[in-house]
Structure 1
Amino acid sequence: MRPLRFGTDGTFRVLQMADIQDGPNVRPDTIRLIEAAIAESHPDLVVLTGDQIRGYDPAYIDTFLRRRGENPGARVRLVTEIEAKLRGVRRRIAAAHNPDVAPQDDVVTMDDLMDDTRQKVRDTFSAFLGPVVSAGVPFAATYGNHDFQCGILADEQDDIYREYPGCMNPAVNASAGDAGNSAALGIEPGTFAMPIEASDGSGRIAMSVMMVNSGDYAGKPEENDAQYPAYVANSRGLDLADSDGYGTPSDEAIAWLGSVQQELAARNGDGKPVPSIVFQHIPPQEFYDCLTEVPAWTPNAVEGARNYAGHCYVLNHEICRPGSRLGEAIGCADENVGEVDAMRDAGGYFALYCGHDHKNAFVGHVDGLDLGYAPTCGFECYGPKSRLRGIRLFEFREDNPRNYVTRMLTWGDLIGRYSSDEVRVFFEDHCVTGAVSLRNELRRPQVLAGVVLGTAAAFVAITRALIKRPRR
């Protein structure tokens, strides 16, 4: 693999693709958006920031994992079961999971099911990586809270990613001596550094792109079994009811944020931290610092989640870049493990970008650090209107990487106003799963106006019908 390097014009371009979140048959609109973004930007690197895999897709129903540590396929989400029936997907139960079935040659085994899922994961990767590989662009991937739920964990997904040309994901514990002077420096699947060399060929590291595995869910499955019946009854509304919330980066990853800067500084020989940007899936709690709390009736306000429940927020436009959008609550972990503090203490870090919350696309500047989002670029999962789904472009300059430019390459800008299945996207944009999401919808002025006009029209129609009703 050739080292990543600034171009002769002194620039380095990165595309962030967040939350593709699809099964083996990745939607054509998602592929079309990826192709258009690459053609528009001519990137030097593509970063995938988690939830590439829709682990709860019916395609993976036989090996679905609600949480790591469970038996594959043992506990499937109710919505997955319903979707499977609608799609005509039939479950295959391994003999090991059914004591009444004698193991025979014609009975499927767990190895069979896992091999089938591995192939489906490859099919998914091949679909969304197709435009990237065809364009010859290097890519790197970290993981979200749904990738592992297909049954194939991050370490094995890492191995599958490395089957594709241009993959920058290193083998665990790869060091500079393993793959040349610009080898990625990694400690675990999804947590590694990609040094970007200066354009003069000197080997000096001008900046670094860091990938961090932000975890999936907090708590252990066996500690949450008592809450599982409530989760089964309303798995969409209570996706986290049987857990302690979202996960966080590991203790090793937090420590690595400092140690990797020391290693990069040593490689440069000047002892100075290298200008660096971090990409991961789940945002830390500090993202709420980009918001302003407002009264509950404020138009377009969104209610916070979990620790921030009961409070409503809008963007703080004094610290957020123009064009920023807040479409849903920030889905951070309940625990603050000090990741942002570790970045500030280490020095060099100037930005942290996430995915996870499909409708958010803001960039705020808090205490010397940019905190930003890319929305979903997929068309299988929930998200904003078609024209607002997109891929985030970054352009860094070698002489000052901190002074970077970023903008969204959206479906609306690159392709058109509507997708090929706008009815589906409409329902994904206005998906209501509980009282909180209903209140958020009613704070959208257009939605509220539609509800008021619809209610008024219904009232008028009922009144007219009563007036015209013949008297006896």
Structure 2
Amino acid sequence: MAGLTLADRAASDLSKPRIRPVDPDDMRPVSVSARLGRLQFHDSGKFRVLVLADIQDGPKVNKDTIKLIEAALDSSRPDIVIFSGNQIAGYDQAYAKTFRKRTWTPQKWPMGAAATSQRDTELEHTRELVRQEISQFLSPLIERRIPWAVTYGNHDFQCGLSCAELDEIYREFPGCLNPEPPIKRSDRPRKQPGSGLPDQYIYPCEAGTFLLPVSEDRKSDSVLGLVVFNSGDYGKLGGYGAPSQRALDFLKVAPSLIGAKSMVFQHIPVPQYYDLLKEVPATAAHAVEGYRTFAGHNYVIDENKTLPGSFLGEGISCPDTDTGEFDILKSGDGYFALLAGHDHRNRFVGTTDGLTLVATPTCGFGSYGPAPAQRAARLLEFDIRHPYEPRTQLLEFGDLVGKASSGKAYTYALNGTPDAAKEGTNLLRRPRLLAQILRKMHLKK
């Protein structure tokens, strides 16, 4: 397909993992970059990023999620793993006592010394529950000594902890590349103790937003930048919000800090993802209605703009108004791609205005999404000969692991977790009936 810069030129690339599992007797870090001490292209000329989107679970992470993470790590042997937000289902009933629906609404606590003590006790309990969850999905990475980075979505903070507080907890674990935010300037790089990359420089901005330069083989010159970006959470007028002004300002200068083009990894997609779709009548096959601003319009994947295997499973949930982020990315020559999660059922790659946009489905089994076999991690493989045209493929649960261990119906807008935030929309109140309908629909396909 002409014009795409993120090239998966054969449909078969989207099916099976291309890399053999790690030798169990090899005790070196699985990450080649961890062996080298910094994010760096290998002697082979390759560099790999594995993206895990929307784990979105409570304190006890679904065991199938862990199985997928383990299998994806062993199949791809990435240099770094990036978690693209909504690791924590902050609305989970376990966090009900410290739950916060929106960042700007204060938590309601009784007044007085006794109430303050109770609040501190409850928040510390939440911190411990968050640590328990994080330790579960990070354990496969820590065992394999793979460095990692996280950004945040619209549910992480709802447990009652700010992104900055969550950042502090993540930094307690080996391999974390999230830096402490700077007091003033973001153009001064720092190193992150405990990351497993002693020679890696990081340009910090704020919790969930920072820049990771990737070096050329055996040289200190940066060839590529990975911008981990906090895309915000909710808008005060409804829908989804915008990145902070500080984050947007950082986005404007990040590529110039390292002298190389960059790719952005964030949670919420920008409205321009709709440019990869074409509008169709509501009665058209596979038509999906748009979200909020785009409601009343129905869409399918535009095959002339997207790669083979692209799939639209739900309306793109983006901010109601353009935040200006896309204009920053396409202006100048600093960026080549943007990856987002958030929409658990969407899985497509395409190019608009010279910028490649990537939608990545959920890897988690704790909330809604596609069929269990299609929960996936996304692998990006960069080549030093054309570092801004990485290959990408989805590493699916069905291919890597097989059949899910639970008989639960993982369907859109339905899950078995009590929803303290009332964020979900249960369109059918009879899950068994819905499961029967879905089975019949599947048999007709």
Task: Give the TM-score normalised by the residue count of structure 1.
Answer: 0.77
Distance across 1 between alignment mates of 2:67 and 2:242: 33
- 1:68 paired with 2:81, answer no
Q: For residue 170 of structure 1, report the CA deviation from its aligned partner.
A: 1.0
Q: For residue 251 of structure 1, report the CA deviation from its aligned partner.
A: 2.0
Aligned to 2:3: none
Residues 430-456 of structure 1 show CA distances to partners (whole Å, capped at 9, x for unaligned) of 9993779xxxxx9xxx85965999xxx
Partner secondary structure for residue 158 of structure 1: helix
Partner secondary structure for residue 149 of structure 1: helix
Distance across 2 between alignment mates of 1:326 and 1:429: 18
Aligned to 2:373: 387
Distance across 1 between alignment mates of 2:306 and 2:413: 26
Gaps of 5+ in 1: 75-95, 220-242, 266-273, 437-441, 454-472
Return closer, same or farther for 1:103/1:338 CA change in 2, 3 Å cut-off.
closer
- Selected match of 1:342 from 319, 325, 328: 328
Return closer, same or farther for 1:339/1:420 CA change in 2, 3 Å cut-off.
same
Distance across 2 between alignment mates of 1:451 and 1:199: 48
Return closer, same or farther for 1:447/1:312 CA change in 2, 3 Å cut-off.
farther
Aligned to 1:245: 239
On the 8 A contact 2:91/2:158 being kept in 1, the answer is yes
Q: For residue 157 of structure 1, report the CA deviation from its aligned partner.
A: 0.7
On the 8 A contact 2:225/2:255 being kept in 1, the answer is no
Q: For residue 345 of structure 1, report the CA deviation from its aligned partner.
A: 1.2
Partner secondary structure for residue 399 of structure 1: coil
Aligned to 1:315: 301
Partner secondary structure for residue 371 of structure 1: strand
Aligned to 2:410: 425
Aligned to 1:138: 147
Partner secondary structure for residue 279 of structure 1: strand
Residues 374-426 of structure 1 show CA distances to partners (whole Å, capped at 9, x for unaligned) of 1010001000000110100000011211121000000011011x311133325
Aligned to 1:194: 212
Residues 44-92 of structure 1 show CA distances to partners (whole Å, capped at 9, x for unaligned) of 00000000000000110110001113343x4xxxxxxxxxxxxxxxxxx
- Selected match of 1:157 from 150, 166, 170: 166
On the 8 A contact 1:19/1:378 being kept in 2, the answer is yes
Q: Which has the higher helix share?
A: 1
On the 8 A contact 2:61/2:136 being kept in 1, the answer is yes
Q: For residue 305 of structure 1, report the CA deviation from its aligned partner.
A: 0.9
On the 8 A contact 1:36/1:414 being kept in 2, the answer is yes
Greater mean deviation of Cα atoms: 319-328 or 251-260: 251-260
Work out the number of aligned pairs and report it.
389
- 1:103 paired with 2:114, answer yes
- Selected match of 1:48 from 70, 83, 89: 83
**One-letter code aligned to 1:209:** L
**One-letter code aligned to 2:310:** S
- 1:10 paired with 2:45, answer yes
Aligned to 2:278: 292
Return closer, same or farther for 1:430/1:126 CA change in 2, 3 Å cut-off.
closer
- 1:328 paired with 2:314, answer yes
Return closer, same or farther for 1:327/1:429 CA change in 2, 3 Å cut-off.
farther
On the 8 A contact 1:175/1:184 being kept in 2, the answer is no
The percent identity for this pair of structures is 42
Aligned to 1:373: 359
Return closer, same or farther for 1:368/1:39 CA change in 2, 3 Å cut-off.
same
Distance across 2 between alignment mates of 1:391 and 1:450: 26
Q: For residue 182 of structure 1, report the CA deviation from its aligned partner.
A: 3.9
Residues 98-139 of structure 1 show CA distances to partners (whole Å, capped at 9, x for unaligned) of 78xx939xx961000000001111111101011011111110
Residues 156-180 of structure 1 show CA distances to partners (whole Å, capped at 9, x for unaligned) of 1111111111111111126545328
Aligned to 1:35: 70
Return closer, same or farther for 1:125/1:449 CA change in 2, 3 Å cut-off.
closer
Gaps of 5+ in 2: 1-33, 192-197, 417-423, 429-433
On the 8 A contact 1:23/1:57 being kept in 2, the answer is yes
Partner secondary structure for residue 317 of structure 1: coil
| Structure label with greater radius of gyration | 1
Distance across 2 between alignment mates of 1:149 and 1:18: 17
Return closer, same or farther for 1:155/1:419 CA change in 2, 3 Å cut-off.
same
Partner secondary structure for residue 393 of structure 2: strand
On the 8 A contact 1:357/1:375 being kept in 2, the answer is yes
- Selected match of 1:26 from 54, 61, 84: 61
Q: How does 1:112-151 map to 2 (within 5 A)?
A: 112-151=121-160
Structure showing greater relative contact order (alpha-carbon pairs closer than 8 Å, 6 or more residues apart): 2
Distance across 2 between alignment mates of 1:345 and 1:325: 28
Distance across 2 between alignment mates of 1:198 and 1:427: 43
Q: For residue 24 of structure 1, report the CA deviation from its aligned partner.
A: 1.1
Partner secondary structure for residue 328 of structure 1: coil
Return closer, same or farther for 1:177/1:428 CA change in 2, 3 Å cut-off.
closer
Distance across 2 between alignment mates of 1:426 and 1:343: 34
Return closer, same or farther for 1:429/1:323 CA change in 2, 3 Å cut-off.
farther
Task: Give the TM-score normalised by the residue count of structure 2.
Answer: 0.82
Partner secondary structure for residue 150 of structure 2: strand
Aligned to 1:236: none
**One-letter code aligned to 1:14:** V
Aligned to 2:194: none
Return closer, same or farther for 1:315/1:451 CA change in 2, 3 Å cut-off.
closer
Aligned to 2:253: 259
